[in-house]
């Protein structure tokens, strides 16, 4: 490479604005430690032992929930899990019942799940749970639907 070509390559290198980066990181640190952050509960579920050990595992779901909470300024106060069918009601899913109780009691105002089918596989149970959460002043966040269009979310509910 000649000197002229090296200069062109060098000029195309991205310039890092250290002050802007520092300001951004300080803002994120402040946001992450702010006492006024909304509190959230995570809920993970698998139906079978096989799912528990594969890609849809509880750990993978939990990691996605933690990532979502951190990136969205939520304080994740607890996570609950079940290894039973999502078609079962609240009484047969102790983790789900504990998550709902945390919202009902005011421990948190947001329930985070990775996908709608992790929340519930039964439309009636899902609807009832959403009404209970809304009555308690909370909301459900389904990570896979955060950027989905209104039509997709409406069909899944």
Say if CB 99 and CB 65 are below 8 A apart.
no
Residue-wise pLDDT for 11-43, tens only, equals 566 677 778 878 777 776 666 666 678 999 999
Residue-wise pLDDT for 71-85, tens only, equals 999 999 999 998 877
**Alpha-carbon gap, residue 139 to 100, rounded angstroms:** 11
- Residue-wise DSSP of 18-30: HHHHHHHHHHHHH
| pLDDT at 155 exceeding the cut of 50 | no
pTM, two decimals, is 0.68
Mean pLDDT for 110-136 is 89
């Amino acid at each position: 490479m000649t000197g002229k070509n090296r200069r062109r390559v060098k000029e195309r290198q991205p310039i890092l604005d250290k002050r802007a980066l520092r300001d951004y990181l300080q803002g994120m640190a402040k946001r992450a430690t702010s006492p006024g952050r909304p509190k959230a509960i995570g809920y993970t579920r698998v139906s079978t032992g096989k799912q528990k050990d594969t890609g849809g595992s509880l750990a993978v779901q939990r990691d996605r929930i933690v990532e979502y909470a951190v990136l969205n300024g939520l304080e994740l106060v607890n996570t609950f899990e079940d290894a039973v069918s999502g078609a079962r009601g609240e009484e047969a899913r102790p983790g789900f019942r504990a998550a709902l109780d945390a919202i009902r009691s005011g421990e948190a105002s947001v329930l985070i799940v990775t996908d709608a089918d992790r929340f519930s596989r039964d439309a009636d149970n899902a609807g009832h749970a959403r009404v209970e959460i809304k009555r308690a002043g909370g909301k459900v966040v389904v990570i896979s639907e955060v950027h989905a269009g209104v039509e997709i979310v409406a069909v899944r509910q």
